[in-house]
Structure 1
Amino acid sequence: MGCAPVDVDLALVGGGGAASLVLAALARHGVDDLRVAVVDPVHRRGQDRTWAFWDQPGNDLDELLSASWSQVEVVTAEAQRTLDVAPLRYAMLRSAPIYDRVAEAERRLGVIRVAAGADSLSDHGDGVLVGTGAGGPALRAGWVLDSRPRPPDRPGRTNWLQHFRGWWLAADRPVFDPTRAVLMDFRTPQPARGVSFGYVLPVNSRYALVEYTEFSPDLLTGAAYDRALAGYCDLLGLDQARFTVREVENGVIPMTDGPFVARPSPRVVRLGTAGGATRPSTGFTFSAMYRQAEQVAQALSAGRPPVPSPAYPRRHRWMDAVALRALDRDLVGGPEFFGRLFDRNPASRVLRFLDGATTAAEDLAVMRSTRLLPMVAATVGDAVSRVRDRVVPSRRPAWTVPPPVVGTDHPAGPPPRGRGQLR
């Protein structure tokens, strides 16, 4: 006969960024009277990813940041914009200090670690039975927070990916401006279908993360990412003979209007991308994950169910669906679309919009900054597609997001002078 399940109040299935932020928030809010378990075959430590996000200075992340900037650049072939994002900041957070904070939180909370994957989640209404593989113990949890990567519950009308490769560059002389980050540089060659841009996050004048990113339906080969990165370094005037690639980061993030169901059963709650934290129009995820973690901890501290609010307002998800359709059908060009957003709105408004924090009046101002006829065409097309999907739901093609694998490089082969990593 098998062993009896281990009883816990809360089980975190998946131990990545979303679960880490929840554990840190539980410790910060003094929620130390719960039995908590983490179910994940990997115990994450060290630098395995980098998060970039914007927020208000003066919170518990301040001491963990690798760098932050009050100015960012958005560059197109026609203009180089230096934008003041105050009162916000653009920030970079590497994983090691988060994992260190989580290790301390686990000690304080007495967390049980189950080094196995969750084979099944059986929600009985008053609790969830978590089946684990590899000989791990079964758990009986009052609530489950599931942050494992997964595709949307059904394919969207537009299904793109944000996919990227970044090099951590160490230069032999000062070449970076540490006072500002490059948020989007659209001078990169644009793909036949999609949008590409470069990205620079300087830690100091000699060390920075330089990244090539695409918003498009299909991944590239490893060699193609490296060629694109080398070309972007040339565009920046960086002599490849004078820098060393210390680390390499890769990632794939869904950009889709397909639905991510945040509460698939009464006592199972999804977090992170699986719970709708990824903004479809940009792929940014961290700020919404952080909000979810805070709301979960506050709810548990008050004796309420750990169910966060939707990551973004419904009207923002609709606006993202229209924007993705306009880009996918080539009704607007990516550089022009994003350039107009920043040209015709204060930078802080655009960033708050992308975080889901703008008012309806501000949303109208954002909408007015786009070209009217293409967006009307995209809006009508989106409405027609929604009606068709309700009439004939099976018309949508099958689609999945390739799940990220931490600690491995892109299948095309090893990166130059570095080690494969995933944001």
Structure 2
Amino acid sequence: MLTADVAVIGAGAAGLSLAHRLNAPPSAARLRSVILVDAPPGPLRPAPRTWCFWESGPGRFDAAVRSQWRHLRVRPPVGPAIDSDIAPLRYKMIRSDDFESLVAHDLARSPNVRRLQATAETVEDTPTGPQALILRPDGTREVLRARWIFDSRPLESLPPARTTLLQHFHGWFVRTDRPVFDPGTAELMDFRTPQPADGLSFGYVLPTGPHEALVEYTEFSPRPLTRTGYEAALHHYTADVLALGDLEVTATETGRIPMTDASLPPRAGTSVFRIGAAGGATRPSTGYTFAGLQRQTRAVAAALHQGRDPVPPAAHSARARAMDAVLLRALATGRVNGPDLFCRLFTRVPTTRLLRFLDGHTTLLEDLSVGRHTPVGPMLRTAVELPRLPRRPSPRPAPRPPRSESA
């Protein structure tokens, strides 16, 4: 049997972030032992993926930031692009392998955090405290007991919801013969893609140099595409829309992120908690997760240091979740045109305020000022309708996201 003060299940963005914070003062001085359970290579370990977020000034994980941008661009289906200078913010991109290397280097010298390669088969409260049954790569099973367990594994199924869309995407890391990219500008949403019958689509371009970029095709819609469908969409976008010319695809990434108004409480037991996407860190209206899980793990580390009940806080306020529920329903019913809505917001709302709004850092008055630039009639109709709608069980398992956020 293994024992620890804290067990962290899963070594994705949330698990690694919490372990990193628990290894730093002052939390490290209070905790004698932390075990991070990391799935061995195989289907339970996600492929390399990209996390993006925005913040002002230097950040905790800047050593793992692959690229960052001060300028953002949104392109409507027709007409001029919408360019924004987001200073003092920066839009930052972290590759998961860079992030893992940064945290692994930190944990390798840790006297109190141990990284254990195993699969957690069950996590539960028992009369003697929380425990996890883990399976080692050699086939042996062990019981891991801890005072607190933080589970970052994806949920097997989504809780009942009134609205659930998928943000699903496929991306190419490309290298071009010609210098076709502007390294100083990230293309956040390019709506010059063919729009699906239900939902919306856009291109997403993160340049890392004049010849290199991550180029993605993204949809907000009820169903994912086939692999062939994604490839065809990317061929069209890179060749016909962006006119990149000859290019080499050096790597790919694919993902699905639930965009749902389902309730995702962080407490899964008396001393068992969910963190990351499973604990509600994903912003339902955008799919961004990295900033939300940082708020969660920072609060958990502070609570453990202070000897308080370390319940991860809601990553997004009740007001933000309510507004997201209205937006998701309006998009799902087709009452609002997605490209028109997002382009209108980026045109009429200062981008730094809009980004603070998406992070949940705006006041009620600022929220109302953003809301008045949406199609007010359809949004109000949806808000009135929403409380009467039943929450229905998810008809399919929750997708396992290969990254915690997207554009």
TM-score scaled by length of structure 2: 0.91
CA contact (8 A) 2:194 2:201 kept: yes
Correspondence 1:307-386 to 2 at 5 A:
307-385=311-389
What is the count of residue pairs matched by the alignment?
A: 395
Correspondence 1:20-419 to 2 at 5 A:
20-32=16-28, 33-42=31-40, 48-76=48-76, 77-107=78-108, 108-124=110-126, 127-133=129-135, 134-150=139-155, 154-234=159-239, 235-239=241-245, 242-385=246-389, 389=390, 398-404=395-401
The CA distance in 2 between the partners of 1:135 and 1:72, in whole Å, is 50
- Name the counterpart of 1:15: 11
Helix, strand or coil at the partner of 1:129: strand
Instruction: Encode CA deviations 1:321-374: one digit per residue, 9 max, x unaligned.
Output: 100110111000110111111122110111111111111111111111101111
Instruction: Encode CA deviations 1:22-70: one digit per residue, 9 max, x unaligned.
Output: 1222233343343111223236999811111111121222232111111
The CA distance in 1 between the partners of 2:87 and 2:111, in whole Å, is 37
CA contact (8 A) 1:46 1:95 kept: no
Helix, strand or coil at the partner of 1:356: coil
Identity score, percent: 44
Post-superposition shift, 1:115? 2.7
The CA distance in 2 between the partners of 1:136 and 1:37, in whole Å, is 16
Helix, strand or coil at the partner of 2:188: strand
Tell me the amino acid that sits aligned with residue 10 of structure 1: V
The CA distance in 2 between the partners of 1:349 and 1:369, in whole Å, is 13
Unpaired segments ≥5 residues, structure 2: none
Helix, strand or coil at the partner of 2:208: strand
CA contact (8 A) 1:42 1:115 kept: yes
Helix, strand or coil at the partner of 2:27: coil
Helix, strand or coil at the partner of 1:138: strand
The CA distance in 2 between the partners of 1:338 and 1:377, in whole Å, is 19
- Larger mean CA deviation between 133-142 and 185-194 belongs to 133-142
Post-superposition shift, 1:131? 1.3
CA contact (8 A) 2:19 2:36 kept: no
Post-superposition shift, 1:19? 0.5
Helix, strand or coil at the partner of 1:277: coil
Tell me the amino acid that sits aligned with residue 395 of structure 2: A
Change (3 A) 1:405 1:346: closer
The RMSD of aligned alpha carbons is 2.2
Post-superposition shift, 1:109? 4.0
CA contact (8 A) 2:8 2:19 kept: no
Tell me the amino acid that sits aligned with residue 369 of structure 1: H
Change (3 A) 1:402 1:308: closer
Post-superposition shift, 1:194? 0.7
The CA distance in 1 between the partners of 2:270 and 2:179, in whole Å, is 55
Stretches (4+) displaced over 6 A:
43-47
CA contact (8 A) 1:6 1:140 kept: yes
Change (3 A) 1:153 1:34: farther
Post-superposition shift, 1:112? 3.1
Helix, strand or coil at the partner of 1:66: strand
Post-superposition shift, 1:142? 0.4
TM-score scaled by length of structure 1: 0.88
